[in-house]
Structure 1
Amino acid sequence: MKLQEKTLEVSYRSVVILRMMLSLIFIVASTSHFFKLEQTVKRIEAANFGFIAHVLGTAEIAVVL
């Protein structure tokens, strides 16, 4: 049985749009952490491995870093 090579062509514009959307997810999440710092710290401290955040000092420092 002979295998044929199949190639998939993707336009440059679609790759740029995908990168922008993926970046936007992280930008929105990080700004949300800064504006809702107290809620984020409470979630970290309530987590099963929340004690790891205190390795850096306080949980607030861990969120900012």
Structure 2
Amino acid sequence: MGSHDKTWLVANGGDGGRYWAYCRKYSDVFETAFKAQVRARTGDCRTVHWSSSEPSNGTEIEI
């Protein structure tokens, strides 16, 4: 499995909350959609990064 398989994107929203989404395989399109969803919910999207394990806290966003 490559480094970008089975990825969780994690971001801090403009409301100070933490948000995450699972993607089977990372892509720029998926990241762009994730950022748009976080912005729509919180007004801003900060510090997006990917993780190889499911986050233990935060709000899940389904893309």
Q: TM-score, normalising length from structure 1?
A: 0.29
Please identify the structure whose Cα radius of gyration is greater.
1
Higher relative CO (Cα under 8 Å, sequence separation at least 6) belongs to 2
Q: TM-score, normalising length from structure 2?
A: 0.30
